[in-house]
Structure 1
């Protein structure tokens, strides 16, 4: 029996990628509406949902691929997982180093691995794609070798272990920027030169320690995908219509509420925090992801609402990793080209046109981000029409 396919899951993945591009490409980082910014530290904004939703989608897709890998055996599994992990990680590292040159006193200077003039500055090793690669690798191993019921228990143990390590890593102030234990791990393993410094101090929001609970986010995505797969097979075997998906959707909503309540309660002792990817954050955002998917399944699969918005997001989902990488590649590369008016080909539209939109300065910045989304969508649309799907 062929595996049932859910269009809503493709739309969910595409919408997540679309939002990732939106929040990463404002006209000006100084002019962003609050919902499109990350929470300063503890707490949650809509932007803080984007990355965990994408990791959840990675696990979700894994549920539909894993049976084939298990049937092919260990050798094929390790070959494919290792290859995909290395490719995604190296693409992320490439984008961190790209475009290999920078402007300095009117000249292009090669960006060395470590800046000889400042040994604490260099090419960042970790990043979004690197975390996706690592999470995919370890989650794939867990779900390949451990049955779903047991992998859930293992996942909860990992989340509890991360909480304990955080608490005892620095008992005096475990959940602060200065007191979080993971930074010392990153400095020791990666080196201070290769750590993100956007917080004003060496601190990497995609560091090594906080990747542990992020792995669980992928596993939860897998478990939900597995649940959807098994329930939909039952409907398919009974030759029932999509209206018989109600029990599955109800189950998803019950899961989501249970996780939301658990995450909210855990937040009182282990604050929801994206930057150190707390266990409460993993639980809470997983609950929101499940609720979102359940709603999409109801609207798209049961009610048959497959309008323009669904098709718009689906196009992004067809080449998800490619378009995300492209949205980082183009701005960095085009920023090297200096136009006579002091702009570059990437920011010219904002600097010369959109910045003059009446009202709050955030308006022009948001319109620019929407223009970037439209441009990236057009590329994905052409690729989809030509049936070109760039898989990693």
Structure 2
């Protein structure tokens, strides 16, 4: 009888431990602690051994891997299938999900990585160093210094260096959300109270940060006066090279391509020569009759069709902080809710709510979905989609254990920086192209593209798509898998 009571007591303690175990992780990892209790009954003596084992939430890596795969696909196959490339202005295509998906997973990773902060000053130091590393790689890869993969030259005229880019925006969002997470560590709850909004009130400082970013963006985009502006076309070989064009504006609250506050702020802060020189609006109906494909400019095309515009600019990056804050919230749910159904309820309710909000704002013409402006409806729509996709991965991989079909995404996700630099930014094919025969067009990369894919399928478009899928995505999935088996990861 006494032994039975002790066994019952042990099981109660085991259950209590199970409820108290926190999930941990860092840098996009979640290490859910699995408790194994061994009960040894020998006469009147009972021993309880509690062992913890780290279990990675694979959905995080798979989601990150999916984002890298989408980037490679739309960057390298978007020229052949331009409908998956960025929307020329309003609307949302496959390519438009890449940036907010990146920022969403950055937010989730921040919540998990900074769940425990032994020393605030050390944590801030690490965040600052990582931010600087991201800025450095962003400038190197997208500032104009690297001309990979087809142009084998390198170097950039500092009068025309591009200061903004994908990694620069990620750096800004990461720095802001991580700093809020660190500086509010003493206000962080250990137990979330009951109620549908308890998780929101527990981390109100994170939402205040998001609210400040939202208000600042909305006030500036609708109240800033945008005057007339001019630019000089820098396009060697073009008949208009060196010619100055003037764009007439003189408006406030305009959300069109030419006279919006996003472009105005970037022209004032960075200078027009430091903006992205090939914006996607050149494929819009105002600029070409071939929209949304690339085609010759219309004879009556407005002058701004040839103007530079920064899609990862300053004001739009302030709005992008919201994507990171929403990702942080998903990370907090993962930490505090231990039951699968509770996590999914929180995630899916918010995901579908954001998705519906974005759709309503877009189709009522209140605030169109626009990646170039990073509009509020775009934040809602893409963050909602990210939450739903992440939840689906969690169900399939971590709940139903259907891990095998998504292993290649996990491998890429665990070495995302390596694949981003080598594949998405074209550094590896540029290296291979450097070993050519007679002319740069006679390299291994070009030979595989033409003879293994395009000529076999007798289609430039289909051949390009298959090349991107097999020679880039599948190839780097295999490389990432091998590196994973060897325990080799490249992290900033």
Smaller-chain TM-score bracket: 0.7 to 0.9
Query: 1:60, 1:224 within 8 Å by CA — same for their partners in 2?
Result: yes
Aligned partner (choices 322, 325, 337) of residue 216 of structure 1 = 322
Aligned residues: 366
CA offset at residue 333 of structure 1?
A: 4.5
Aligned to 1:287: 384
Q: Distance in 2 between matches of 1:272 and 1:101?
A: 31
Aligned counterpart for 2:403 among listed residues 293, 306, 315: 306
Q: Measured at CA, do residues 247 and 356 of structure 1 come closer, stay the same or move farther in structure 2, by a change above 3 Å?
A: same
Q: Is residue 327 of structure 2 the alignment partner of residue 272 of structure 1?
A: no
Find the residue that maps to 2:99 and give its secondary structure.
helix
In the TM superposition, what is the alpha-carbon distance from 1:298 to its structure 2 partner?
1.7
Measure the CA separation in 2 of the matches of 1:353 and 1:134: 42
Report matched runs for 1:213-252 at 5 Å: 213-232=319-338, 235=339, 245-252=340-347
Higher RCO (CA-CA < 8 Å; seq separation 6+): 1
Q: Superposed, which structure 2 residues align to 1:187-198 within 5 Å?
A: 187-198=267-278
Listed one character per residue, the Cα deviations across residues 303-334 of structure 1 (whole Å, up to 9, x for unaligned) are 22112x21111000111122101121224455
Q: Hey, what's the Cα distance between the residues in 2 that align with 1:391 and 1:338?
A: 32
The equivalent residue for 1:205 is 311
Report if the CA contact (8 A) 2:70-2:98 is conserved: yes
Specify whether residues 359 and 164 from structure 1 end up closer, same or farther in structure 2 by C-alpha distance, changes over 3 A only: farther
* Correspondence 1:71-82 to 2 at 5 A: 71-82=117-128
Residue from 460, 469, 477 that aligns with 1:361: 460
Change (3 A) 1:248 1:88: same
Match of 1:239 in 2: none
Q: Distance in 2 between matches of 1:316 and 1:196?
A: 28
Deviation of 1:180 after TM superposition, in Å, equals: 1.5
| 8 A Cα contact 1:196 1:204, kept in partner | yes
Q: What is the alpha-carbon distance in structure 1 between the residues aligned to residue 464 and residue 129 of structure 2?
A: 38
| Deviation per residue, 1:224-278 (Å, 9 max, x gap) | 111121102xx4xxxxxxxxx1132122111112111222222231111111111
Q: Relative to structure 1, is the Cα distance of residues 94 and 363 closer, same or farther in structure 2, using a 3 angstrom cutoff?
A: same
**TM-score, normalised via structure 1 length:** 0.86
2:80 aligned with 1:31: yes
Gaps of 5+ in 1: 236-244
Correspondence for 1:152:
207
Unaligned runs of 5+ in 2: 1-20, 24-31, 33-55, 188-202, 227-250, 280-305
Which residues in structure 2 correspond to 1:292-371 (within 5 Å)?
292-307=389-404, 309-327=405-423, 328=425, 329-335=427-433, 338-340=436-438, 342-343=440-441, 344-358=443-457, 360-370=459-469, 371=471
1:286 positional shift: 0.8
CA distance 1:206–1:8, shift in 2 (3 Å): same
Whole-Å Cα distance in 1 between the matches of residues 82 and 391 of structure 2? 28
Equivalent residues of 2:319, 2:376 under 8 A apart = yes
The match for 1:113 is: 157
Q: Separation in 2 of the partners of 1:331 and 1:202?
A: 27
For 1:228 and 1:212, how far apart are their aligned partners in 2?
26
TM-score (norm 2): 0.69
Query: What is the CA distance between 1:354 and its match in structure 2?
Result: 2.3
1:37 counterpart SS class: coil
Return the offset for 1:212: 0.5
Of Structure 1 and Structure 2, the greater strand share is in 2
The alpha-carbon distance between structure 1 residues 310 and 353, as it changes in their structure 2 partners (threshold 3 A), is closer
Work out which of the two has the higher radius of gyration on C-alpha atoms and give 1 or 2: 2
Aligned to 2:179: 141
Residue 57 of structure 1 corresponds to 105
Q: 1:164 to 1:332 in 2, by over 3 A?
A: farther
| Shift, 1:337, TM fit | 5.4
Separation in structure 2 between the aligned mates of residue 47 and residue 357 of structure 1, nearest angstrom: 28
Alignment root-mean-square deviation, CA: 2.5
Q: 2:67 aligns with which of 4, 7, 16?
A: 16
Q: Does structure 1 retain, via aligned residues, the 8 Å contact 2:124–2:182?
A: no
Q: Which residue matches 1:242? A: none
Of residues 85, 88, 95 in structure 2, which corresponds to 1:47?
Answer: 95
Once the two structures are superposed, what CA deviation does each residue of 1:77-134 show, in whole Å capped at 9, x if it has no partner? 2210011001111011111344479999xxx8763433xxxx5xx2322111111111
Assess if the C-alpha contact under 8 Å between 1:8 and 1:301 holds in 2: yes
